[in-house]
A and B are shown apart, each in its own frame.
Chain A
Amino acid sequence: EIVLTQSPGTLSLSPGERATLSCRATQSVSNTYLAWYQQKAGQAPRLLIYGASNRATGIPDRFSGSGSGTDFTLTISRLEPEDFAVYYCQQYGTSLRTFGQGTKVEIK
């Protein structure tokens, strides 16, 4: 089973700042099979990025994904008030999927 470890656990930033979130896998993940989600309190998760670097429909271009192999990154170029939330990476496997434990982006 591939384990995804996200860091940091919490990121304290101000609106307008840049956020860099990390997701590290215990074994290589095909770029095609890595996604990122945003979750706000009381809401279902929302797909942000698929295929490691492709924005889902309706996602603003301040969100970008990169990486390959075992190291992936989600970057939010300039934080807007609505971006303060928890972010999860997730890998797809034919028979198993896993999520990282999440990174909370909070207002400093």
Chain B
Amino acid sequence: QVQLVQSGAEVKKPGASVKVSCKASGYTLTTYDIDWVRQAPGQGLEWMGWMDPNSGDTGYAQKFQGRVTITRNISISTVSMELSSLTSEDTAVYYCARVVLTIRRGVYTYYGMDVWGQGTTVTISS
């Protein structure tokens, strides 16, 4: 079945970087965008950025510009998100999600983030 499987929990020190991976199975990675969303403890969902695995194009929320990098390795059907210069405010669960957007006769249809990874807990602690 279609699923996204993320890498395991991480504990990092302030100032370090973390890289979280998201492996797709059950479909071809290059067919749909992958978005990254995070959720701090007790808080709501915060969108971080996206990648088109086919083209390698990316886009990032202004809040994370310069600190986040999304990459892909098509050969292993994996998209990764790296966040640098970590502070305690980056302690959160990080999710990847598949974004379904189709184009037919020039008309775009957004079908939502239909498959989510299980989440990766990243803890920043000195």
Contacts and interface: CB of A to CB of B under 8 A. Distances in A.
Interface in B94-109: 95, 97, 99, 101, 108-109
Given A32-B108, A96-B59, A97-B35, A88 B113 contact: no
Contacts of B61: 96
A102 B45 CA distance: 8
Contacts of A51: 109-111
B62 A1 contact: yes
A92 B101 contact: yes
A24 to B, nearest CB: 16
B112 A47 contact: yes
A19 interface: no
Contacts of A86: 44
Nearest to B100: A50
Contact of B113 (A1, A37, A100, A101): A37
Interface in A79-108: 86, 88, 90, 92, 95-102
Given A32-B108, A90-B47, 15 more contacts: A32-B110, A33-B110, A37-B113, A44-B119, A50-B111, A50-B114, A51-B109, A51-B111, A56-B111, A92-B99, A96-B59, A96-B61, A97-B35, A99-B37, A102-B44
